[in-house]
Amino acid sequence: MSTSPALTSDNLSGKVAIVTGAASGIGRATVDLLVERGVRVVAEDRNKAVEELAGPAIAPLTADVTDEDSARRAVELARERFGGLDILVNNAGIIINKNVVDMTLDDWNSVLAVNATGAFLHSREAMRAMIPQGSGAIVNVGSYACFQAFPTIAAYAASKGALAQLTRALSLEAIEHGIRVNAVGVGDTVTNILDDIHDDGPGFLAEHGSATPIGRAAQPSEMAQVVAFLASDQASYLVGSIVMADGGMSVAAG
Ligand SMILES: NC(=O)c1ccc[n+]([C@@H]2O[C@H](COP(=O)([O-])OP(=O)(O)OC[C@H]3O[C@@H](n4cnc5c(N)ncnc54)[C@H](O)[C@@H]3O)[C@@H](O)[C@H]2O)c1
């Protein structure tokens, strides 16, 4: 039996990616891993610290994913600097912890805008660039909250549920153009995402992660590996999948 060439290598080298939320955590680790594998990356974040990543293989873009123009600017930058676009990683995300009765409309809208609308806007512009070439991969950074919930995360869970359904619905529109759309169901990962909520956000996540079946939280680099796999040709048969990378949290009863 012959082996498909696409399955003997990840074929990432030479490709061009946009990674949102690239200044920190999982986004930053994804940029590092993709560059290590020969990908040239537009690294987008609303935090100006992203500019420090500038280099021959990284074009930083300080932009807010909720602005309609940001997605167009990111695709334009990918084309101008690196000659095209093969991969989009919708990673930028925020969370608030509030009961619904205490939540303002601004709270709700801000979480939905970043986690769901930002992904829609970037997917739309990426699709417009990828359709003519008949290939591409979009990877959405989802969460255990694509499926599960607990009190105080209603806005976040709603946004990740929306992202899961965007992943599935868009995957069916995209695959006829040779574009694969998938997501990662990220579990507790030691990053700065809770810094506005807890004095020691990374410490809280490390502690919380110790209650998962694997007994620890993930490092951002472990999530980046899953993102890179889904972006690569080795994931050639994955369409509309939400790959849980949560240390067993979603399969444990009780
Ligand atoms: N860390 C976890 O335990 C965990 C668990 C499940 C899912 N996730 C998901 O992983 C993704 C990455 O989060 P992280 O944990 O690395 O957090 P992080 O806070 O370390 O990184 C998120 C990055 O997104 C950027 N960002 C936020 N809003 C933005 C906007 N409007 N425009 C542009 N950039 C913006 C931030 O500046 C930051 O650099 C998020 O989608 C998050 O929901 C994380």
Measured from the Cα of 209, ligand 1's closest atom is 3
Instruction: State the pTM of this model.
Output: 0.97
pLDDT value at residue 1? 46
- Catalytic residue among 17, 156, 179, 184, which? 156
Provide the CATH topology of domain 11-92+115-187+221-245: Rossmann fold (3.40.50)
d(Cα 34, Cα 231) in Å, to the nearest integer?
10
Judge whether 156 counts as a catalytic residue.
Answer: yes
The set of protein residues with a Cβ atom below 6 angstroms from ligand 1 is 20-21, 23-27, 45-47, 64-66, 91-94, 114, 141, 143, 186, 188-189, 191-193, 205
- DSSP class per residue in 16-53: EEEEESTTSHHHHHHHHHHHHTT-EEEEEESSGGGGGG
pLDDT at 135 over 70: yes
Q: What is the mean pLDDT of residues 138-151?
A: 96
Q: What is the mean pLDDT of residues 135-145?
A: 98
Residue 186 CA to ligand 1 centre (angstroms):
11
Residue 21 CA to ligand 1 centre (angstroms):
6
Using one digit for the tens of pLDDT, what is the confidence trace for 50-101? 999 999 999 999 999 999 999 999 999 999 999 999 999 999 999 999 999 9
CA atoms within a 13 Å half-sphere pointing along the CA-CB vector of 140: 37
Using one digit for the tens of pLDDT, what is the confidence trace for 175-218? 999 999 999 999 999 999 999 999 999 999 999 999 999 999 99
Q: In the structure encoding, which two tokens stand for residue 193, read together?
A: 């995402």
Residue 8 CA to ligand 1 centre (angstroms):
32
